[in-house]
Chains A and B, each alone.
Chain A
């Protein structure tokens, strides 16, 4: 049993790998080798920084086709994190518009510019820090996690999924209910960083490791 953290050159993969190692005795591998990725029993698709760079690196490392195949095959659990969630959708408006993996219907939008709260405070972008996640549908990855639990976020763009059935959690920021947890079949994806979200984040990773969809 091996969990492969897909290393296409974007993001700080060490934190994810270390957190997984903390919750499982299974082998955790950070890799860009297609054979290792295909041979793994579970996959983590991370992502950080600009989505154009993430998609670009996925193409440059020739992993885009493999990741698309693995998503469609629905043969093993995959956890998307941060930009790894956003990339699953059709298109992002970041960087002037970037086509993504189109595994789920929907788009990725910016929170806005020069936002303020109702009482006139400047609302910061990125949305950074610990915010509440409202669970939208039941899912095995929510086991042992309270509805409304806080997770650690850092992002300026958010997912707007088209299908209600693909949404598993939402978070309110800037008056928007962002679809911060989405998934379908063997795929589950979160905008927040479970590897940095203390006890509840580790619980979610443990649930992923034990998930048998």
Chain B
């Protein structure tokens, strides 16, 4: 196997600015998305994902301009998620230079949107984001459920069944976030990562909970993930992308170095 596992830094964007802080040594204005994207590209990121958290509709135009500026300078795959609800939103982002869009809440409220989007734009650019939380008690067989609204609203949908359904509807890739791990730095929920990786034929990106490089290794080796997504460990300079790649390669994982 010479196909490399991927490392994907994820950036939160509000009205065309990267928020929550990204601190690279030597960059004073860490909120400039083009500078940050270029820096991650130079470091060897395999893709970059932007999560648009812009609240108002008008400000979303600024995000579109941001994608345009980045796509003119950074030539690796770019994914944009957050607020993708209609085919028009997808067209706007692809025209701006995004390569993939990630659909989250809209997939839950209207699964046919995923089907329509895949038929119209091709599965290769449709990522479905799955926010899962463990709902089984200790000692019970593990069960995970889909949550929306940042993990606050349960849907009653079984995460593994939902993953299968989304692939059947045309998702080309799944971005799996374990909501109970997000921000905890204790590592991915490897159980749900493994269950979904084994259940579907398309690649799975593991997300939520990364605190160190061993977590990335476990996501691939134990979770079966094809790619790992992380935010804070890279943004605050705890680890660089080359650090992560070298470490994963040392553990026997095929990486693009």
Contacts and interface: CB of A to CB of B under 8 A. Distances in A.
Label chain A's interface by main secondary structure.
Answer: mixed
Please classify the interface of chain B as helix (H, G, I), strand (E, B), loop, or mixed, using the class held by over half of its residues: loop
Nearest to A114: B201
A72 B9 CA distance: 45
Give the interface residue-count category, chain A. Answer: 35 or more
Interface in A135-155: 150, 152, 154
A126 B124 contact: yes
Nearest to A19: B75
A49 interface: yes
Nearest to B118: A49
A201 B41 CA distance: 13
Contacts of B5: 129
B75 A196 contact: yes
A129 B76 contact: no
A150 B256 CA distance: 7
Contacts of A197: 75-76
A121 interface: yes
Contacts of B111: none
Contacts of A49: 121-124
A131 B224 contact: no
B72 A22 contact: yes
User: Which of A12, A117, A131 has the most CB atoms of chain B within a 10 A radius of its CB?
Assistant: A12
B203 A128 contact: yes
Contact of B97 (A11, A15, A171): A15
A129 B227 contact: yes
A211 interface: no
Contacts of B2: 131-132, 171-173
Interface string B2-15: 11111000000000
> Which 9 A-B residue pairs are closest in the complex by CB-CB distance?
A49-B122, A130-B256, A132-B2, A131-B3, A154-B124, A130-B4, A124-B203, A150-B256, A128-B203
30 contacts: A11-B122, A12-B94, A12-B99, A14-B96, A14-B97, A15-B99, A19-B75, A21-B72, A48-B122, A49-B121, A49-B124, A50-B122, A117-B1, A122-B197, A124-B203, A125-B201, A128-B124, A128-B173, A128-B226, A129-B3, A129-B226, A129-B227, A154-B124, A195-B75, A196-B77, A196-B99, A197-B75, A197-B76, A198-B41, A198-B75
Given A124-B203, A128-B226, 14 more contacts: A12-B99, A14-B97, A18-B71, A19-B75, A49-B123, A122-B201, A130-B3, A130-B6, A130-B256, A150-B256, A154-B172, A197-B76, A198-B41, A198-B75
